[in-house]
A and B are shown apart, each in its own frame.
Chain A
Amino acid sequence: MKLKVFHRTHYSYAKPVHDSFNEARLQPTDNAEQIRHSFILKVLPSTRLKHYLDFYVNCVHLFELTQPHNELTVEATSIVTTCNNLRLTAEERPALLQELSNSSELDRCYDFLQGSSYVDVSPETWRLALDIIGEETDVWQIAQLIMQYINREFRYEPNSTYVHTTMAEVMKLRAGVCQDFAHVMLGLCRSIKLPARYVSGYLYNGPVEQLKGAQASHAWVEIYITGHGWVGLDPTNNQPVDGHYVKIGVGRNYGDVPPIRGTYRGTQERKLTVDVLVSLIDELATTPAIAIAV
């Protein structure tokens, strides 16, 4: 479907701050599965924007504000067309988990099989994963089982965690938000050698009138299936990724794709407000072909 995404991040500081250096990962991807028609990034106070591609080939915009300022507003507006077709149906059995260890494609997934700053792959995680999958041997079915487990066993509770909560803390708490659910799924998949990566983006969740609470950006997971590439699953909403999802970028965990990250010099008293609005332009529009995402 054709969607318009508006994402405003507003920082306000009790006293003027200066020497602010920031990186924004807000630009949706543009490839066979998702066409980006336009992307406009506005920063106030206005400053020169530069951009580069990071290690995971996400487009990163850089800007700096050396002069004193009380407020920083970053607004990103994009128009994308996503793919309405599902990559795989629920029942399909595309590949065995065993096959992956024999495949040479594993080299590209090295980063996505290790623990990282938010995600651990300890023996306890591995034992839990084994319990969840039972006798199942197919990669896609295993991933769905893990996704369903998380959706069932963890409570979605805003404000129970914060932006730097790690997977270990979430496991103890048994609650969290999309970011945390994604981290848990990453841990479980990686512990059984199923390559999984963190995806940052947006979710279109219905017309504006049906909004439940403040919107924010969304996070989900992509797992690697031999012969099919990276396929998305959303543990928060217990569904595979379809045309409702707008993808920005991928990484090992939240730390690789925060929408905005930066440093500044000045006071610690500050406030962050985020507004996200995803609206529908055309429900039936879709991308022309399904290609293997790498």
Chain B
Amino acid sequence: MLSRVANGLYWMSRYIERAENTARLVDVNLQLLLNFRNLNDSTLAGHWMPIVQSTGEEEMFAKLYPKATGENVSEFFVFQDANPNSIVSCIYLARENARTVRDQITTEFWGELNRIYLFLRSPGAHALWNQSPYDFFLEIRNSSLLLQGLADATIVRNEGWYFMVAGRHIERGDKTSRMLDVRQASMPENGPPMLANQADALGWSAMLRSCSAWDAYKALHGSEVQPALVAEFLLLSEDFPRSVRFCVEQLNQALRRISGVAAGHFSNDAEKHAGRLLAELQFCDPADIFDHGLHHYIDQIQAKLDAISDDIFQAYIFQPFQPDSDNELQQQEEQQQQIR
């Protein structure tokens, strides 16, 4: 498989996952606004700025928009071409990457990706958005899930497939941690996060819903939101498919299927660092995390996932130039010459 092809599949998966997660983030927080009694500039800013900050894009947002209103933030995250992480940009880039590896993905997959791209570029997208943001985001989420299902059901389990799995899970782990980080205002320097008031409880449950984790959390811990348990659930849950630990586990498996190395061993930096991160998440108490500072811990996870992504690039995609001094030579061939 060409490095270029592996790179294309990896990033295509990442961008699709990113678009879905951005849709989740904005959707739930828009719905949350319905619960506020009075919406003025400061409550709006207080509501939206943490979200913008959790994606790390305050600077660009500040350049483009004077105020943090629901309208501006949604436009920034959904339709803004200048924002490389907006839904429209992500789908565009996913499609570009898919186009260059067209022979690796099935026709149905390409058809769906192309369809959502064309939809976003059409007036229909803005119309749907104005009419019902909830339906718009549902469209994005469903498209991403359909793409995942199509990939799962039709793509051959070759190296390309495992690059797709790796990309999807790095992105999902990163985005889950960022969604948790939206609540950073209630995360002290050390100690568990606090539930200050009713509004906070709504915020926490909204955040769980954006990860589709509300039902799973409820089944495990009951419907009263306890921030410490939420943090533990989203970071360390072994069984919840969107938890950071679960994603890092999938990432490790995918990396090892690519290189053929056994679990518990590593053959390059990406596997080494991914294995280390998984061990940290596996053998970790919530108390350890809170002592460290939850916000700080989340930042570190994101940095480590970034580093692993770089390692993957170094290990599989990047090829330094050949030194000139060594020419390619033919191996000697043996002449066939036996006689009775």
Contacts and interface: CB of A to CB of B under 8 A. Distances in A.
Q: Do A and B come from one complex?
A: yes
Interface in B318-340: 322, 326-340
A265 B334 contact: no
Interface string B251-273: 00000000010000000000000
Contact of A217 (B327, B328, B336, B340): B336
Contact of B337 (A216, A237, A260, A268): A216
B334 A9 contact: yes
Given A48-B260, A266-B326, A20 B339 contact: no
Contacts of A236: 339
B335 A263 contact: no
A178 B337 CA distance: 5
A268 B333 CA distance: 14
B76 to A, nearest CB: 46
Interface string A119-162: 00000000000000000000000000000000000001010011
Contact of B334 (A48, A217, A263): A217
A21 to B, nearest CB: 9
Do most interface residues of chain B lie in helix, strand or loop, or is the interface mixed?
Answer: loop
Nearest to B328: A263
Given A48-B260, A205-B340, A163 B329 contact: no
A53 to B, nearest CB: 17
Nearest to A270: B332
Contacts, number: 91
Contacts of B336: 177-179, 182, 200, 216-219, 254, 259
Contacts of A261: 330-331, 333
Interface residues of A, number: 46
A272 interface: yes
A168 interface: no
Contacts of A216: 334-338
Interface string B98-139: 000000000000000000000000000000000000000000
A216 to B, nearest CB: 5
Nearest to B334: A274
Most buried by A among B327, B328, B332, B335: B335
A276 interface: yes
A266 B339 contact: no
Interface residues on B, range: 10 to 19
A156 B335 CA distance: 13
B271 to A, nearest CB: 16
A264 interface: yes
B260 to A, nearest CB: 7
A172 interface: no
Interface in A80-105: none
A264 B338 contact: no
A263 B340 contact: no
A164 B326 CA distance: 24
A113 interface: no
Given A265-B327, A266-B326, A202 B338 contact: yes
Contacts of B260: 48
A212 interface: yes
B329 A217 contact: no
24 contacts: A9-B334, A20-B331, A156-B339, A161-B335, A163-B332, A163-B335, A178-B337, A179-B337, A203-B339, A212-B339, A216-B334, A216-B337, A237-B339, A237-B340, A244-B340, A254-B336, A262-B331, A263-B331, A264-B328, A265-B326, A265-B328, A266-B326, A266-B329, A270-B332
Interface of B: 260, 322, 326-340
Given A178-B337, A202-B338, A217-B338, 12 more contacts: A9-B334, A158-B337, A163-B335, A179-B336, A212-B339, A216-B335, A219-B336, A254-B336, A258-B333, A264-B331, A266-B326, A276-B338
Q: Lowest 5 A-B CB distances belong to which pairs?
A: A177-B337, A262-B331, A219-B336, A265-B326, A272-B332
